[in-house]
Amino acid sequence: MALDLTKEFPRSPRERLGGIAILPRAIDKARAQLAGTLGSYIYFDCGINRVLFTMLHVSDQQFLDAVARAKNDDDVLRWIREELQPSEAAIARMNAFIEHLEPRPEQQAHFDAMLQAADPGNTAVTRWVDLLDLEEGRLPKGSGAAT
């Protein structure tokens, strides 16, 4: 089930699998990494993936290996639930963190440049999830931040 991220977007960082935000997107990027179709996306050392992997206590390589063994999303979720066993409280904290994640001061210029490239004049978008959804067409241009 390869995904070609040179032709399509990964799922939204807001999308959840088993109640876990970013997980579907991380799976999409892992599948593309395995298939050699990652395009301009980043799998290894991706900041937003790192939030998920930290909560799960796995490396990007361990996650990649699990996705490689999995037949589908449900197999990845089963591995997480049975082998890694994250607490519901840890998942809830991570989901809230992802939803509200803003650029760090050293990232602000990069964030602003990405925002202006995606939607010139937009100054309302301040969170990474909104920027990713804007860039990938899930948030209309000129709309500002999602509520």
CA–CA dist 52, 95 (Å, integer): 9
Average pLDDT over residues 3-8: 94
CB 50 within 8 A of CB 19: no
pLDDT tens, 54-63? Answer: 999 999 999 9
32 Cβ contact list (under 8 Å, min separation 6): 2, 3, 4, 5, 10, 38, 39, 41, 43
Token pair of 78 as six digits = 């089963």
pLDDT tens, 129-145? Answer: 999 999 999 999 876 54
CB 20 within 8 A of CB 95: yes
pLDDT tens, 18-60? Answer: 999 999 999 999 999 999 999 999 999 999 999 999 999 999 9
pLDDT of residue 142: 79
Q: If pLDDT is split at 50, 70 and 90, which confidence band does 1 have? A: low
pTM of the model: 0.92
pLDDT tens, 95-105? Answer: 999 999 999 99
CA–CA dist 13, 22 (Å, integer): 4
Average pLDDT over residues 113-126: 95
pLDDT of residue 147: 42
